[in-house]
Amino acid sequence: MTTTTHGDGGRHRAGPGIPLRMPALVSPVRVHLPWMIGMALAAALLVMGLYLAVATRFSATVQIAFDAGGRTIPVERLEAYLSTPARLGATVDRLALAQPTEGDAARLRAMARLWQGIEIEQSDLTNVFLLRTSGGARRKVAPVANALADTFVRADSPRSNVHVRIISPATDPVAPDGMLILPIAAALLSAALAASITLIVRERRQEGPRSARSAEAALGLPVIAMIPAVTGLAPGDRATLTDMPVTAQQSDYARAFRRLLASGQPGGRVIAVCSALAGEGKSTFAISLARTAALAGRRVALVDGDGRVRAASIALDVVGRPGLVQVMDGAVTLDDALVADTRTSLRILPHSQDAAIRSFWAKDSMAGLLAVTGALSRAFDLVVIDTPPLLALVEARDIASVADEALVVARWRATPLGALRHARSMLAEKGTRASLVLSFVRLAEPDRAPIVPMARRRGRTGPALAGL
């Protein structure tokens, strides 16, 4: 037995062979980062939106010049002129600051708000004043300021000894009054709080295994491999993944399989690749493992035992050929049913598309399956059986029971631990030794550690398939 070191610092007992190095996985923050960013932005925008809607005030300024024949006009005189109810009411009516249907009380409130937002200031020039209005609506303060200034202009007449002109009219404000440090600080604080809460909630809601150490602690199964996810592929693109051990041998995906085989895993000659649920990457793993072992010089056979989906046969384009069911029924010999892989020296025993599932589970079917796997184990160094999902088809545990070891493929951070515990119990009922493989993991950094070459196992010679 060898001691294996995890990328997260954990250790477990693995099978015989070279020590298996578990790569380091990304942190929970990187896993949930898109959600954290989204919730942080939403919280910050909400806080800033509330501030702009409730607490923000805008102001607009119009510059007015008075020609009083050399006399100085005090600010108080202008304020007294504007503060009369008639002029305030006229401005309210002109700008429709209060609807006529709302009554006199609403009109009086609008006049009061209008007067509270008026400020007149003497500029550096004589009889040049700054009339400033403020309010919560950005697009209303400039029209109010210009309307009030126009009140002075309208009061000008040929008989008046005071002439008024607008030097610079008010324009819509670009930014609110005051400093934005407080609302910005509140927005940043709320964003940080929202991101933290999102991280905690999503971590607690994820039921799947998060690391090799946590998976072993929760399930009692050794984790022998972590297969990285490959980005940039279309959903369901199994063909590209299964070709990577051949076409992209330096990729993290291909190196994960070579590292697994270099460690001496899996330990048996007949291996059943299982999963608790569908969509875990089971068939892709089985094909990739078989091809990697074939590239390493081992004689390998892949058996498609999933009669419902036939994912391995479809991926390898051998679904239309006679296969496992026909061999078990005696319709064809095993030697005739085996198909050569187009990429490697792998031999494939497909599952025929027109094969009835019931014939696979007819009487003495397990004896026939044992005979097929026994003949294959005598002819090949490694036999990989792609089984149906354990919880989807109860007979899957019977298929796995003919193997020396079952590899349970579980999607990282996705497969519920309850489903994996049930699958483990189903295999234990049949006395099948099981190990765990985490699929679709995200590595913290590329795997560039050296892989110790695996000693090639020589295949047996002679009439290996005799009798089938």
The larger pLDDT score, comparing residue 160 to residue 434, is at 434
Flag whether pLDDT at 274 surpasses 80.
Answer: yes
**289 confidence band (pLDDT: 50, 70, 90):** very high
Flag whether pLDDT at 357 surpasses 60.
Answer: no
pLDDT of res. 412? 95
pLDDT of res. 348? 97
pLDDT of res. 381? 95
Flag whether pLDDT at 18 surpasses 80.
Answer: no
- Rounded to whole angstroms, how far apart are CA atoms 229 and 442? 6
**Mean per-residue pLDDT over the chain, rounded:** 85
- Rounded to whole angstroms, how far apart are CA atoms 425 and 285? 22
**15 confidence band (pLDDT: 50, 70, 90):** very low
b vs e for 383-407, b when ≥16 Cβ sit within 10 Å of the residue's Cβ? bbbbbbbbbebebbbbbbbbbbbbb
> Would you tell me how many other CB atoms lie within 10 Å of the CB of residue 102?
11
pTM value > 0.75: no
Flag whether pLDDT at 382 surpasses 90.
Answer: yes
Q: What residues does 384 pair with on adjacent strands?
A: 271, 302
> Would you tell me how many other CB atoms lie within 10 Å of the CB of residue 364?
9
Q: Answer yes or no: are the C-beta atoms of 271 and 287 closer than 8 Å.
A: no
- Rounded to whole angstroms, how far apart are CA atoms 342 and 344? 6
Mean pLDDT of the 42-56 span: 85
The larger pLDDT score, comparing residue 33 to residue 53, is at 33
Flag whether pLDDT at 468 surpasses 70.
Answer: no
Residue 440 main-chain phi, psi, to 5 deg: 60, 35
- Rounded to whole angstroms, how far apart are CA atoms 390 and 459? 31
pLDDT of res. 159? 56
Q: Answer yes or no: are the C-beta atoms of 22 and 6 closer than 8 Å.
A: yes
Q: Answer yes or no: are the C-beta atoms of 404 and 194 closer than 8 Å.
A: no
The larger pLDDT score, comparing residue 360 to residue 274, is at 274
pLDDT of res. 1? 36
Flag whether pLDDT at 135 surpasses 60.
Answer: yes
Flag whether pLDDT at 461 surpasses 60.
Answer: no
pLDDT of res. 364? 65
Mean pLDDT of the 429-435 span: 94
Please measure the distance between the N-terminal and C-terminal CA atoms of the chain and give it in whole angstroms. Answer: 37
Question: Which residue stretches of 96-129 are H helix?
Answer: 104-116
**387 confidence band (pLDDT: 50, 70, 90):** very high
The larger pLDDT score, comparing residue 193 to residue 116, is at 193
The closest alpha carbon to 208, from 219, 196, 192, 198, belongs to 219
Tokens at 218, concatenated: 């929760």
Q: Which residues, in sequence order, are CB contacts of 462 under 8 Å at separation 6+?
A: none
Q: Answer yes or no: are the C-beta atoms of 423 and 273 closer than 8 Å.
A: no
- Please name the helix (run of DSSP H) or strand (run of DSSP E) that holds residue 134, with its range, or none: strand 128-135
Opening angle at CA 419, ends 415 and 424, nearest 5 = 115
**Domains annotated on the chain, with CATH:** 2-24+211-441 (3.40.50.300), 57-168 (3.30.70.1130)
* Helix then strand then coil, % of the chain, to nearest 5: 45, 20, 40
Flag whether pLDDT at 290 surpasses 50.
Answer: yes
pLDDT of res. 21? 64
Mean pLDDT of the 134-159 span: 80
pLDDT tens sequence across 202-240: 998 888 899 999 999 999 999 999 999 998 877 767 778
- Rounded to whole angstroms, how far apart are CA atoms 131 and 79? 10
pLDDT of res. 33? 94
Mean pLDDT of the 138-145 span: 87
Mean pLDDT of the 453-464 span: 43
What angle in degrees, to the nearest 10, is found between the helix axes of 417-429 and 212-219? 50
Flag whether pLDDT at 264 surpasses 70.
Answer: yes
Q: Percent of the chain scored above 90 by pLDDT?
A: 48
Mean pLDDT of the 381-398 span: 92
pLDDT of res. 16? 43
Mean pLDDT of the 233-258 span: 87
pLDDT tens sequence across 155-203: 765 556 778 889 999 998 877 777 678 888 999 999 999 999 999 999 9
pLDDT tens sequence across 54-96: 777 888 999 999 888 778 888 898 888 888 888 888 888 888 8
> Would you tell me how many other CB atoms lie within 10 Å of the CB of residue 306?
25
- Rounded to whole angstroms, how far apart are CA atoms 116 and 104? 18
pLDDT of res. 5? 38
Q: Do the strands 128-135 and 118-122 form a parallel or antiparallel pair, or are they unpaired?
A: antiparallel
- Rounded to whole angstroms, how far apart are CA atoms 340 and 347? 5
The closest alpha carbon to 21, from 12, 29, 31, 30, belongs to 12
Tokens at 222, concatenated: 């050794």
The DSSP 8-state label assigned to residue 52 in this structure reads I
**11 confidence band (pLDDT: 50, 70, 90):** very low
> What SS3 class is residue 109?
helix
302: left (phi over 0), alpha (psi -120 to 50) or beta: beta
